[in-house]
Structure 1
Amino acid sequence: MICFPNAKINLGLHVVSRRTDGYHNIETIFYPIGLRDALEIIPVEKESAGIPEFSGNTHSITTRDNTSSRKYRFFQTGNPIDGDPDNNLVIKALNLITFEKELPEIDIHLLKKIPSGAGLGGGSSDAASTLILLNETFGLGYSNEELILRAARLGADCPFFILNRPAFASGIGDELEPIEIDLSNYTLLLVKPDIMVSTREAYSMINPREPELSLKEIIRKSPETWKELMKNDFEPPVFKKFPEICRIKQQLYEIGAVYASMSGSGSSVFGLFEKAPDWQGKFNDHFVWSDKED
């Protein structure tokens, strides 16, 4: 089976307080967008496929009872991903399920289109989609609530991608409250420079504070008013260190955005437009995506 894990943007982001566990309490609004990866999981049928043995780029996962292991092959194409493939969130999601359920030997194919280090949740979306795809492919019987609990063990924003609908997020980003918001009448333009922002470092530059106005109140207002009301607390320190990200936001306003913001801790910036903007030639050195050209 195949699925297409999508990205998200943050509509505002307040870092509210530091927690005793080293994390931070935040409030933000997760909004799904149509920029997608592709993920496919294929059971390996040796006899019918004429494959004499499961060979090649093979890895093993030991099951919970330590009596057997399940093999898989992981193939990743598209945007390169740094680091050990075994640390990919797709494989961590597979490990989590394999510890609980019996699975056959499988091939996993991941095509990366969502930029990494962009504040778009691409890795988290891939992880959540792995849980969903394994559940559906092999009839594992997990409910959405059970998948959400397991997704939370993989990352703070992974639970959002199980239901994949607009949500007000609090806690560390894992406490979700569905909200009604539809931006389909706007053109969304996303720009990601060749800059990697460390989330850990971004948090270290923040002084947490209670927001003057909750995002749940701001989101009820027209996007034309958000420029003055909706803030991302990561922008001031990140813009200071990476002025190019700030310039992208300014350019989006210059070409007609009614609202522009950095997503998450960066480095991507998005703009909302009442009509399709003329952006050609303005972001030539950057990754650019528009929901009206997907």
Structure 2
Amino acid sequence: MARRRIVATVLAAGALAWTTPAQALVPYVYLPTPEERRGSSIGIGRTAAQLLQLGQPREAAQLAALAVRLQPDDERLWSVLAEAQLRSNQLTEASRSLARAKALNPDKAGLWFAEAAIALRSERPDEAVSLLRRGLQLDPKNAAAYFDLGNARILQRNLPSALEAFEQATGLKPSFWEALNNQALVLYEMGQRDEAIVRWRRVLTIDNNPEPMLALAAALHRRGGAEQEALTLAKDALAGNPNYVLPLHQVEQLWGPQIRQATADLLMRSELRDTVERAQANATWKKSN
């Protein structure tokens, strides 16, 4: 009994000591300063941007989301998050992130261009045109924005305006072969087929890409007089990118009905049967939207 009383006395004394303010155990939680939070968020944001460059948009989006939680008033971090979400097809989330970024810095042209890209991906060309025009007021020498404007005009079926936009893009950047290729696509649909062929040939002096290669082959085949060249170009094009054997892929690349029909006629040639079958077997196209 005496031992129990001693133990009870010791425990009681300990309990009293625990509740005494001078002896209380206070959990220690380190709270970083605003400067430290800002430095951490910038570092995380840079890592997210590097992941984007490495082709890892979902991982980039996760890091960028952490960065904006640490520093929600930095539009650069929201921009990185929006880009990562856009590349990983999180279009709704990307729109929200861009809205936050634009609220912080409405005069940054890139934010308007990025929002236009989302509108284009969502097949809202009227909205994209409006956004691109606003961005070009802020950055009038942006060749990529004129290229996107041309694509939006194609979706609006406004081919003269599309051609003008693509020509503005190559005026700013003569090596911009994608814009030159799209000039040829538009010209072909407008009935200016010889000029389209001239521009596709010019594209191939800049980049030996399968898309203008196949389009040129189809145009040459339709015009006649260069059959062997057309067949050779078609074989090389489908070997380089078999997805172009698929009409739906052509549609996504904004090929108009006339060049698609010319391509279909070319690919019916018996000399291309093996090439076409091989391309159909190897095609890996998936709709990007």
TM-score, length basis structure 1: 0.32
Which one has a larger percent strand, Structure 1 or Structure 2?
A: 1
Which one has a larger percent helix, Structure 1 or Structure 2?
A: 2
Structure whose alpha-carbon radius of gyration is higher = 2
Determine which structure has greater relative contact order: mean sequence separation of CA pairs < 8 Å that are 6+ residues apart, divided by chain length. 1
